[in-house]
A and B are shown apart, each in its own frame.
Chain A
Amino acid sequence: MKTRLTAIFFCFLLFNIVNGQENLQTQLNYANGFFNSKQYYDAVTEYKRLLFFDSTKIYQYGANFKIGESYKAGAKFDDAIKYFSFAELNARNDDEIFETKTEIIRTNILRRTTERALQLCDDLEKDERFNAKVDTINYWRGWAFMLSDNWKSAARSFARINPNHELKLLAERTDKAKVSVTFAKVISYILPGAGAIYSGNFLSGLMSLGWNTLAGYWTINSFIEKRAFDGIVVGELLWLRFYRGAIQNAENFAIEKNLEISNKSLRFLQNEYKGTKL
């Protein structure tokens, strides 16, 4: 009889546990439904509910990770990093730790906290547990460089994965297409308007050259006619103004051109690149 009673007791105990587990599993499926249909606000609510009622703590990693992903998808990067960090604390193996750490890196890249992303990449690379995952680390390091407009370093990072890596070639192409801001300024010091022409703004460059020639002529002409004060004032008010303007223009045009080139590459990454994105 005792045995029978004990058996009945354990049956009920088991029923309770299984029943509780089933409820948590149902809740997880419910939250996943929202997540999969991209209803991230509701997904966060339901994952939080799951975490709140999960006394067994078995869903801590998965639910926190999904909350992080939901916040990331909603561009709430600070919250995303907070929940990825919670997930990391509850990770059960090295793979899960690596997954959360890379998500934190990716979110930092999106948040434009590049320095932090690069620091995390370095930390991850130094960690012996992840020696086999150096390619993944270099991949995200490359992305961090690309999004901070450092295409040369990005090309170097991708080259470590594969010398013919698609993104390495893209980064190299972008870097080569960019113009030198310093060079544009220097040639404008020598010949006003040359920097603008170098940056592709021919009309503006020629006009700048014209204004400088005219103002220069007036200044020199005033000195030749022994009207030194006129010469100084015209030189200061007109010639120097146009000369300085030409240098400033050269700098602005070069920056603008570089931005255009970078944006073209970023648009490619956003719309046409088929590999893993941020």
Chain B
Amino acid sequence: MILSNTQKSFAAKSNSYFILLIFLIIPLTTNYCQLTTDNNFFSPYNRLKFGNYLYKDKDYLRAAKEFKEYLKVYSNDTVQFKFSNSFFKIGRFTEAADNFKGLFFSSTLSEEARLMFFESNFFQNDFNKFRNLADQDVYLSLKYRKEIERLKFTTYFFDIATLPAENIILEPFPDSVQSQIAKFYIQKKIPLHKNPTTAAILSTLLPGAGKIYTGEVGDGITALVTTALSAYLAYTNFNAGHQFRGWLFAGMTAFFYGGNIYGSAASAQIYNARIRFDFDKEVKFYFEQRNYFLPQIDL
């Protein structure tokens, strides 16, 4: 087909206009839209991107702020979970628990949120409240029922609540650790405490004996020798006619003797506190090393 010059010119003009139109539309659809999304660093999309970066960088407090701003505009379960988890990671467990609660219903992360809700409550160290929560079915997770139950029984090792029967506590724990948990149970149930009154009576009868009873053998022998020596010095000084020195050493003897009785009772209390402290430390270390038998959940 042969085109006339007018037609050729028209076709060329049409092509040119078309290309021009494309150049005009492209910026409108990319550049200007990006101005409101990509180039605006504070758009919800960019806040989410930046929040995710901060979250990966473990800068959780800043990440939480970015997620919060995003969630003001859009609803997103994953972001809500990360937002709650940011509080969990920085030890703000109350806020973490409150925010995990928001994912309990009609969410794909409902089960994980429930577990994290219980974890957040566990680390608040109000174990009585934790046990009450664990007994309420409305909060329980079907998928993580066993984990939550384990946490519930773990709480008994950390406070002064009356221990349930041994078999009940042991049941949710794996077979491989049951002997260790049973050992903790016995230690918690029958702690090897020393009686302060017994220690005081022993030291009244024989200076230092109370200390030896509480395991302070060196202190006990020193107390016995010091008291005996000062008593002997008081005796010899009185005999030699040195009244002042005699009374001085007699006073010292009374001070050592009385001090040792008091010290033995205190030593028994310190011994008991040490037993409790060592037990708490050992239990905490044991469970921490095993992440409280909980799965690692992070998105």
Interface residues, chain A, with chain B CB atoms under 8 Å away? 1, 5, 8-9, 12, 15-16, 19-20, 23, 27, 44-45, 48-49, 52-53, 218, 225, 227, 229-230, 233-234, 237
Q: Is the CB of A15 within 8 A of B23?
A: no
Q: Is the Cβ of A237 less than 8 Å from the Cβ of B229?
A: yes
The CA of A59 and the CA of B19, in the complex, are separated in Å by 36
Q: A218-B245, A227-B240, A234-B233 are in contact. Are A15 and B41 (CB under 8 A)?
A: no
Note all chain B residues with C-beta closer than 8 A to A229: 236
Contact pick for B31, options A12, A27, A53, A227, CB 8 Å: A12
| C-alpha spacing A237/B62, complex, angstroms | 63
Q: Point out the residues of chain B lying under 8 angstroms from A53, CB to CB.
A: 41, 46, 50
Contact B41 A230 (CB under 8 A): no
**CB closest chain-A residue, reference B19:** A5
**Cβ of B54: which chain A residues have Cβ within 8 Å of it?**
48
* Contact call B39/A20, Cβ cutoff below 8 A: yes
Q: Which residues of the other chain, B, contact A20 by a CB distance below 8 angstroms?
A: 39
Q: A23-B39, A52-B50, A53-B46 are in contact. Are A8 and B20 (CB under 8 A)?
A: yes
B10 at the interface (CB under 8 A from A): no
Closest-by-CB residue of A relative to B40 is A23
User: Chain B's interface: helix, strand, loop or mixed, by majority?
Assistant: helix
Q: How far is the CA of A216 from the CA of B100 in the complex (A)?
A: 75
* A-B contact list, 21 entries, CB within 8 Å: A1-B12, A1-B16, A5-B19, A5-B20, A5-B23, A9-B23, A15-B27, A16-B27, A16-B31, A19-B35, A19-B39, A23-B39, A48-B54, A48-B59, A48-B62, A53-B41, A53-B50, A218-B245, A227-B236, A230-B236, A237-B230
B residues lining the A interface (CB < 8 Å): 12, 16, 19-20, 23, 26-27, 31, 35, 39-41, 46, 49-50, 53-54, 59, 62, 65, 229-230, 232-233, 236-237, 240, 245
**From residue B66, how far is it (CB to closest CB) to chain A in Å?**
9
Minimal beta-carbon separation of B50 from chain A (angstroms)? 5
Residue contact B41 to A27, C-beta cutoff 8 Å: yes
A22 to B, closest residue via Cβ: B39
- Taking CB as reference atom, which chain A residue is nearest B54? A48
Contact (Cβ within 8 A) B65 A45: yes
Specify the main secondary structure of chain A where it touches its partner: helix
Return B73 CB to nearest CB of chain A, in Å.
18
Which residues of chain B come closer than 8 Å to A5, judged between CB atoms?
16, 19-20, 23
Knowing A19-B31, A227-B240, say if A49 contacts B50 (CB, 8 Å): yes
A235 CB to nearest chain B CB (Å):
12
Q: How far is the CB of A222 from chain B (nearest CB, A)?
A: 9
A233 to B59, CA, bound (A): 65
* A49/B35 in contact, CB under 8 A: no
> How far apart are the CA atoms of A276 and B19 in the complex, in Å?
62
**Chain B residue at minimum C-beta to C-beta distance from A20:** B39
Is the CB–CB distance between B39 and A230 below 8 Å?
no
Measured between alpha carbons, how far is A20 from B62 in the docked complex, in Å?
24
A23 touches B41 (CB 8 A): yes
Contact partners of B40 in chain A: CB under 8 A: 23
| Bound-state Cα–Cα, A49 to B69, Å | 14
| Cβ-neighbour of B233 out of A9, A23, A233 (below 8 A) | A233
Residues of B within 8 A of A227 (CB): 236, 240
Q: Across the two chains, which residue of chain A brings its CB closest to B241? A: A225
Cβ–Cβ < 8 Å partners of B229 in chain A = 233, 237
Nearest 8 pairs between A and B by C-beta? A12-B27, A23-B39, A45-B62, A1-B16, A52-B50, A53-B41, A8-B23, A52-B53
Whether A15 touches B20, Cβ cut-off 8 Å, given contacts A48-B54, A52-B53, is: no
Closest to B27 in A: A12
| A112 CA to B59 CA, complexed, in Å | 25
**A52–B54 Cα gap in the complex (Å)?**
10
Residue in chain A with minimal CB distance to B32: A19
Residues of B within 8 A of A233 (CB): 229, 232-233
Determine the residue in chain B with the shortest Cβ distance to A27.
B41
> Besides the contacts A19-B39, A230-B236, what 9 more A-B pairs have beta carbons closer than 8 Å?
A5-B16, A5-B19, A8-B20, A9-B23, A15-B31, A48-B59, A49-B41, A53-B50, A227-B236
Q: Write out the residue numbers on chain A whose beta carbons fall within 8 Å of the beta carbon of B49.
A: 52
Residue on A with the closest CB to B239? Answer: A227
